[in-house]
Structure 1
């Protein structure tokens, strides 16, 4: 709990005790616990300006139970065809289907063969950094690396003796696309360390509160905005983190763009002083998720 909030609660509790003593009474432990519980409940259900008027309880749900029953952000139940429109899921399904037919022999260095890397990459959104290399190698294509990490950590694929194969769990995902979508979204929005590919020191930035960042993109992403706009809102909600450009890189260029939820202004026509600095949501974001909006008053 925030130190300032804890001090405020302590002051309220002490004021209540003083008031009761002035009236000639001494509240027992049961009464004090009930009063304290009422204070904490009130605080948890009070909208906070720095949270864009989400309550502490709603922020807690986004941080600790993403996409859960009480979370302001949830996944929709989609048809198989709708799920296949999501770039990252389309890539995942392609690889899982390939592995369901036969094992994949990796390169001597342990990478996915370049031909398959190219096929997987072409199913996602164009990435300026990866486009720089004519030959698509796994070591140069981050989204394919993220795909491999996600499928492995979710237990859908395994690698043994230089070969990648489908697990029993992975095979089940080919029969339940919504289960695949849920598992991969939970991994990418909660468990994935987006700092794995960079040299920034603070590991929490962009990894903590990723669902809140998703809501920010949903709420403000109809038009192109500088990524600093989102960074300011993020660091206001999480003042314990020191502002850093790694938030913008990890959140938008990496996680959201790789899933297919946002565009980044990194085309040839965007070359200039703001190249790569702006983002906007893609229509698919609001098809995948539902959002409960915070209280306006």
Structure 2
């Protein structure tokens, strides 16, 4: 008898898309399913292979629909859709294309600064195709304020776009979202961008930026940690955890534990290191990529440092009202 994978994919474990990069089940989860099947089949007799297969399918479907503690109340079937079909599972989650509130977030503040600088005449890039240095400096001063600007440029000024990481990220994401493009040697707003701004404005711009960030932007490019593409692909599970638990302040380790508890096999994807263990690497990557640079940067949660250490900084996390506007789960919490 083959082992049945509890993910709702209908494939054998060794061939399942969730068995490797997109794995969603721990080893004991597979063992529990197999043990349940063994006990259920014990002493039963079937008159044909079709009858046996129909029975197995029925039992497997029941198992796939059971809510699991390690998935924080999600069933394997629901987790499969959250990981693989986040924008095509309306029975689980809804992403409004127009927000009911006007969002005020870091990503939109910088987007507005960028779009205002581009204006109707466009903005000439550098020879390397980046934003001009003077604009980067002006944007940083407007974004941070005088005191924070001085603090952040103590050990090196902003001489190119990459020196202002938040703005660099926004420029890339805005292009990926199809809101700006280069035309005849200048950055210009796309026709789609002009249409959205003439309509509901930033209430429709934000959902476009959000989707481009989670689907097309490579988070590893920004944080420098190992690729671990599965982690960004599991963005909706992170938002589910925040929706479920984020109404009170919690340390970042709470979310690290929850993520690793659901996906312990991610430790096997970490490249060898003489400095950090796989556990330390996954935890640090998750905090920076999923909490600080995703939930925090996109204004979905406050991710606030509670220690001054730069290398091993600790955070506390609490959701913001925008989260419930951007992602609306159709599930009991």
Normalising by the smaller structure, the TM-score range is 0.7 to 0.9
Indicate the residue corresponding to 1:152 in structure 2.
Answer: 175
Indicate the residue corresponding to 2:239 in structure 1.
Answer: 214
Q: Deviations over 1:205-245 (max 9, x none)?
A: 63131121122223333343321221111111111111321
TM-score by length of 1: 0.78
Indicate the residue corresponding to 1:187 in structure 2.
Answer: 212
Say if 2:64 is the partner of 1:44: yes
Q: Deviations over 1:173-192 (max 9, x none)?
A: 32354543332222223433
Indicate the residue corresponding to 1:89 in structure 2.
Answer: 108
Q: How does 1:11-50 map to 2 (within 5 A)?
A: 19-21=43-45, 25-29=46-50, 31-50=51-70
Match of 1:57 among 74, 77, 84: 77
Residues 59/93 of structure 1: CA separation in 2 closer, same or farther (3 Å cut): farther
Q: Deviations over 1:154-205 (max 9, x none)?
A: 2222235642122223333323545433322222234332111233234236
Residues 120/211 of structure 1: CA separation in 2 closer, same or farther (3 Å cut): farther
* 3-state SS in 2 of match to 1:253: helix
Partners of 2:150 and 2:82 in 1: CA distance: 32
Q: Deviations over 1:79-104 (max 9, x none)?
A: 4xx23423323433443454351211
Taking only aligned residues, the RMSD between alpha carbons, in angstroms, comes to 3.5
Unaligned runs of 5+ in 1: none
Partners of 2:119 and 2:149 in 1: CA distance: 31
Partners of 2:120 and 2:185 in 1: CA distance: 17
* 3-state SS in 2 of match to 1:265: strand
Q: Deviations over 1:109-164 (max 9, x none)?
A: 432124433555567689x8995126544212222121111111222222356421
Indicate the residue corresponding to 2:266 in structure 1.
Answer: 241
Match of 2:304 among 259, 265, 275: 265
TM-score by length of 2: 0.71
Match of 1:138 among 150, 158, 161: 161
Match of 2:329 among 288, 291, 296: 291
Partners of 1:215 and 1:121 in 2: CA distance: 32
Q: Please, which moves more after superposition, 11-20 or 196-205?
A: 11-20
Say if 2:110 is the partner of 1:71: no
Match of 1:199 among 201, 224, 234: 224
* 3-state SS in 2 of match to 1:143: helix
Unaligned runs of 5+ in 2: 7-12, 14-26, 268-278
Partners of 1:125 and 1:55 in 2: CA distance: 43
* 3-state SS in 1 of match to 2:225: coil
Residues 90/83 of structure 1: CA separation in 2 closer, same or farther (3 Å cut): farther
Report if the CA contact (8 A) 2:92-2:331 is conserved: no
